[in-house]
Structure 1
Amino acid sequence: MASERVWKSAVIGYGGAYNMGMAHARQMMEAGFEFAAACDLDPARAEQASQDFPGIRTYTDVAELLAQDDLDLVTVITPHNTHAELAKRILASGKHCIVEKPMCIHAEEADELVRLAAQKGLMLSVYHNRRWDDWFLTLQDLIGKGVLGDIFHVEMFFGSYQRPRDWWRSDKQLSGGAFYDWGAHYVDWLLRTVPGPIRSVRGFVQNRVWHETTNEDHIDCILSFENGAFAHVQQSSIARIGKAARRFLGTKGAVVDNGDGQLTLHTEENGVQVESKIPYVPSQPMAYYRNIADHLMNGAELEVKPEQTRRVIAVLETTGTSAEAGKELPVPYE
């Protein structure tokens, strides 16, 4: 039977970038939560939250928000280097927790959060909402139908030749590095596509042009899987020429995606090579929070599990440590 009680939610971080605080709040409400409170260190942003959602409680002190016993769920929307500590405080206060991606910066922090949530009997999840993007849903449908066979090689690219913006996401101490932003989504997509443990990661990091920022200019992450599959994820802010955004090779078929509303599928029919255009199925932008609500209120299985997102952080971090060591390294928590 569905829960009849009111579940109250809140956000920590109502910053103006991308209006993420407002976006999370609206998705919470649409999924069935009462959006009850917001916290931001900037009094002006806290005031903006109260204007956007009249009647909510606003705070500029995290401790005051976490002292509210009627809050059930708190989402963290702050710079990456603050995620781990805030998530620990939320869980310690007895509240369920969502963290914007990336989960944190270090795999050891991720493991601590997984263990703490389990000890407290609380939900911990990371906002990997991109699992419900149109192109990825289309790819997963093809894989599920057996059209591609076993995926044995993946290439992913994102970037261009462009100076990074002057903001915290370009500061490695705060962001974790360039790979921790969109790279978190790309690695999550990859690990949802290629099953099984990772054997090793080899990272290559270059800083050649944008010396006024501390993030890396160009990153290559090469993953080897226990089942023999191989993947290459590349991110760059100094790539004057790009390539296919995503390329998947399987034993029965292959897919190329350029983000243009359709997948290009290469297969064989009666011994003849066939190229097909597969239109994207619609994205499901509300699927993440709907699953959170269904999990907490009705006991449904949690889609984005913390153990999965811990693997993402392990890959991101190992990419950097491998580059520093100059050799491939195993990935923690495999």
Structure 2
Amino acid sequence: MQLVKAGLCAFGMSGKVFHAPFLKEHPGFFISAIVERSKEESKEKYPSAKIYRSIEEMLQNADIELVIINTPVQTHYEYAKKALEAGKNIVVEKPFTVNVSEAEELVQLAEEKRLFLSVYQNRRFDRDFLQVHKILNDGKLGNIKEAEIRFDRFRTMPSGKQHKEDPDQIGSGSLHDLGAHLVDQAVQYFGYPEKLFADVFSMKGAEFANDYFEILLYYRNNVRVRLKSSVFTKEDHYAYKIHGDKGTFLQERTDNQENELVAGAIPVYGKEWTQPLKDTDGILNILNENAETERILTSSEAGNYMNYYQQIYEHIVFGYDLPSPGKEVIQNMKIIDASLESTKEEKIIKL
């Protein structure tokens, strides 16, 4: 099996949970380098990886083909550009960048260098997202009329992470953080909207970055898609509500990969590794061919973030489609930028 040498730009939560475990367990990857500015925490689990004290040092000296840009979003543009100029293929953590212009410049640079740029949209590999995708593809809901996608939390106290909560830092706040997932899912399900109206602000107060957003996406044929997130939601809602002219589908957010990884779970290559679902997590309520109501409790199948890196590997080795290419995710950045503009101008923004 061809071996792809990879380097991680940081070893914080993202590196420890979402990237390093999968790169280690996938037989096609080898973690050759990790950037830790002052510590050496990676040595225990990844002793074969050489520790570098800066990204510049790693890019100059490490024998790597793939670089994972998993630093704060405010640094994505700078480090991604340096990696591309050093001749490296890159995976950039979500959100891609802080604005559209940065994203477009990076995509253009990658094309000029004949390198690939993928954005780590791992929620495309959540069990709940995949279940909704399956229901939509089955066509049992008929023509879709309305949808709502939520990602709520109950985090009323500040986290202390300045790059996420300082309102003066571009790219901070829930819109770029959780909104990067919800916008991506809406575009994957329904395509690029014609226009939008958004309400983005901080429930904790003006001294903090936005922690609440509601985005109404307008599609052709009078279809409406609402994206919403709040950090003052103690009781869970259905994360997905899809309504068509033949029925409704409700889906809970039940993917637990992140929690299991944080607790120390080791992903397994080539098979499911998460804990099985104990209960049903969805409701399909439709009219059948006889115009009779069928109410069906559904269970989603396991998701697997390993599939993201499997697709990265297959792109490198076999030339298969690249998962979430930067050029595609530029659309998401346009929606995020337009949502901020809509909030500021208090008006509908055409896309």
TM-score, normalised to structure 1's length? 0.89
Per-residue Cα deviation, 1:116-149 (whole angstroms, up to 9, x for no partner): 1111111100111111111111121222222223
State the distance in 2 between where 1:12 and 1:315 align: 27
* Structure-2 residue corresponding to 1:10: 7
On the 8 A contact 1:111/1:310 being kept in 2, the answer is yes
State the distance in 1 between where 2:17 and 2:230 align: 30
The alignment partner of 2:199 has SS state of strand
State the distance in 2 between where 1:217 and 1:177 align: 6
The answer to whether structure 1 residue 36 and structure 2 residue 32 are counterparts is yes
Among 219, 229, 251, the residue aligned to 2:213: 219
Per-residue Cα deviation, 1:217-248 (whole angstroms, up to 9, x for no partner): 42111111235321111122345776432211
* 1:1-334 → structure 2 map (5 Å cutoff): 4-15=1-12, 17=13, 20-21=15-16, 23-31=18-26, 32-40=28-36, 42-44=37-39, 47-68=40-61, 70-160=63-153, 162-168=156-162, 169-172=164-167, 173=169, 175-195=171-191, 197-211=192-206, 213-239=207-233, 243-259=237-253, 261-269=280-288, 270-331=290-351
The alignment partner of 2:91 has SS state of strand
RMSD of aligned Cα (Å): 2.0
On the 8 A contact 2:238/2:251 being kept in 1, the answer is yes
On the 8 A contact 1:79/1:175 being kept in 2, the answer is no
Over 3 Å counting, the alpha-carbon distance change for 1:215 and 1:92 in structure 2 is: same
The alignment partner of 2:63 has SS state of coil
Shift in Å at residue 30 of structure 1? 2.7
Per-residue Cα deviation, 1:268-305 (whole angstroms, up to 9, x for no partner): 12111221111111112211000000110111111212
Over 3 Å counting, the alpha-carbon distance change for 1:284 and 1:55 in structure 2 is: closer
On the 8 A contact 1:21/1:77 being kept in 2, the answer is no
Counterpart of 2:44 in structure 1: which amino acid?
Q
Over 3 Å counting, the alpha-carbon distance change for 1:258 and 1:6 in structure 2 is: closer
On the 8 A contact 1:204/1:319 being kept in 2, the answer is yes
On the 8 A contact 1:100/1:127 being kept in 2, the answer is yes
Over 3 Å counting, the alpha-carbon distance change for 1:52 and 1:239 in structure 2 is: closer
Shift in Å at residue 21 of structure 1? 3.5
State the distance in 2 between where 1:150 and 1:122 align: 40
Counterpart of 1:290 in structure 2: which amino acid?
Q
State the distance in 2 between where 1:271 and 1:151 align: 18
The alignment partner of 2:48 has SS state of coil
State the distance in 1 between where 2:57 and 2:132 align: 44
The alignment partner of 1:311 has SS state of helix
Q: Which runs of 5+ in 2 are unaligned?
A: 255-279
Q: Which runs of 5+ in 1 are unaligned?
A: none
Counterpart of 2:159 in structure 1: which amino acid?
R
Per-residue Cα deviation, 1:173-225 (whole angstroms, up to 9, x for no partner): 16432211122111111111113x321121112335434x4212421111112
Per-residue Cα deviation, 1:94-117 (whole angstroms, up to 9, x for no partner): 100001111111011111111111
State the distance in 1 between where 2:253 and 2:62 align: 44
State the distance in 2 between where 1:138 and 1:250 align: 16
State the distance in 2 between where 1:271 and 1:227 align: 24
Over 3 Å counting, the alpha-carbon distance change for 1:27 and 1:217 in structure 2 is: closer
State the distance in 1 between where 2:45 and 2:153 align: 35
Over 3 Å counting, the alpha-carbon distance change for 1:256 and 1:279 in structure 2 is: same
TM-score, normalised to structure 2's length? 0.85
Counterpart of 2:178 in structure 1: which amino acid?
W
On the 8 A contact 2:7/2:66 being kept in 1, the answer is yes
State the distance in 2 between where 1:75 and 1:67 align: 15
Runs of 4+ in 1 over 6 A off after TM superposition: none
Counterpart of 1:180 in structure 2: which amino acid?
H
State the distance in 2 between where 1:78 and 1:185 align: 17
State the distance in 2 between where 1:229 and 1:82 align: 36
Counterpart of 1:8 in structure 2: which amino acid?
K
State the distance in 2 between where 1:298 and 1:219 align: 40
The alignment partner of 2:238 has SS state of coil
The alignment partner of 2:217 has SS state of strand
State the distance in 2 between where 1:330 and 1:188 align: 18
State the distance in 2 between where 1:22 and 1:275 align: 38
Aligned residues: 321
